[in-house]
Chain A
């Protein structure tokens, strides 16, 4: 109407991320549940297994990674469902720019809200397991590369199960097997460092998975959303 300016793809990306972050800030309970769930699971292990240092140190990477995997499942169901229910998703699909970019923005915001807090919390929890500083460093690097993959792969599942009854369980069944490589390389990196080897190979493979996910998952998720909208 009056002096409408064109929107670039980057503007759109920024708009979606900002919007989802504002929404998350105004619904803080959702964010906190993911984080508290993560802390709970990880803290239960030393209590259940007993305080034997060697064993705790050995299982720490696996426990932290599995806990991160499970807690990221918690928030995936909400990734698209709110937008689906109030009709915003319809408007997003009619966006004249690419839907994939919109989806990428939602993935990024999801990671900042549910993945990043886990990464920041992990070193504190690692101390409970008496992990060495070097192992903690690799754990953080691995989680930094790995948690975005969980958000991106999870988004495909979230899009496919949109609007289904009992979608949450189905979502976990769909996504968890796909995340196994991330778990193997992420936990493997920490174990390698603890065993005196280099973590570089594990981390590079995680990096490769990250790039692969970054390229393909937004498009696949966009297609899945179109199927779910019919």
Chain B
């Protein structure tokens, strides 16, 4: 369970938001809404611990994330604007390495089946520089399939994706929530997960 209370963040001298409180329980999904520059990405990066908040606390299962540190990182997965994939490596290598960073050993078969489900059949061993933007995003999103993290923090996951991939992401979110996972994300595209109530958080 992720509890945020009275959170305030600023970028430079500019206060982005303050007094922000919300709770995300197992099986819940929350969309962060707001105009460009309202601090959606900053909020998500603060939840990851990349940025320090000005005020307030972020607690994971009752303990502050700054105290939990690596125990918290073991239970969360972050997907940012940047895909975190290497042009020189192929999709398979990229996926296995990023799974390694998140602490999971992935054998080739599991990695291949995840990439195939992401619609990358036949492109698993191409250097990712030969892939299109949407396909690179799919390689990055394949991490969702092989992750055991409870909390997914997704920043604009739908960028550059086609209709089919968006449907697939909706399906993945549904499966994750059914496993009592939690999702907090931002998007400017409509995203519905069948049969699940979408909580929303509006930044001023």
Contact = CB atoms under 8 A, between A and B. Distances in A.
A230 B9 CA distance: 12
A5 interface: yes
A19 B73 CA distance: 22
A148 B44 CA distance: 37
A177 interface: no
B102 A91 contact: yes
A23 interface: yes
A193 interface: no
Interface string A1-29: 11111110001100100010011001100
Nearest to B175: A1
A91 B82 CA distance: 10
Interface in A72-92: 82, 85-88, 90-92
A184 to B, nearest CB: 39
Interface in B37-90: 48, 50-52, 70-71, 73-74, 76-78, 80-89
Contact of A230 (B50, B76, B110, B147): B50
A96 B100 contact: no
A91 B97 CA distance: 11
Nearest to B72: A96
Nearest to A89: B84
A35 to B, nearest CB: 20
A11 B83 CA distance: 24
Interface of B: 48, 50-52, 70-71, 73-74, 76-78, 80-89, 93, 97-98, 100-106, 110, 145-148
17 contacts: A3-B110, A6-B103, A11-B105, A22-B88, A23-B89, A86-B83, A86-B85, A87-B82, A91-B84, A94-B78, A96-B70, A96-B102, A97-B70, A102-B101, A229-B50, A230-B50, A230-B51
Interface of A: 1-7, 11-12, 15, 19, 22-23, 26-27, 82, 85-88, 90-98, 102, 229-230
